[in-house]
Amino acid sequence: MTNISARHPFGVLGVALSFWNPRGKSNQTFLEVIESTFPGRVLSSKVRRDITVSEASVYGKPVFEIAPTSRAAEDYRSLTKELLKRM
């Protein structure tokens, strides 16, 4: 398997995982594949599955407007802080 960074020369600040199921059976295998593709780039903040993301999409509004105290909003805030620290 060819590494994506070999085919596409670009810098990756971080890899964010969304629709994350903390109890997923294949999490470790999935993380290993992502980590081998983007070594050291997988962000520790993960956006968990949350119905409010779908609801926000239906209304065409940000999740912060639809459900500012939801798990998804909390996860996106955490992800934003982590990305800002990397910049």
User: Could you tell me which residues come within 8 angstroms of residue 3 by beta carbon, excluding any fewer than 6 positions away?
Assistant: 37
> pTM for the whole thing?
0.78
pLDDT of residue 22: 83
Collapsing DSSP states into helix, strand and coil, what is residue 14? coil
pLDDT tens track, the chain, 87 positions = 566 667 777 778 899 998 888 888 888 898 999 999 989 999 999 999 999 999 999 999 999 999 999 999 999 999 999 999 988
User: Could you tell me if 14 and 41 are in contact, meaning their C-beta atoms sit under 8 angstroms apart?
Assistant: yes
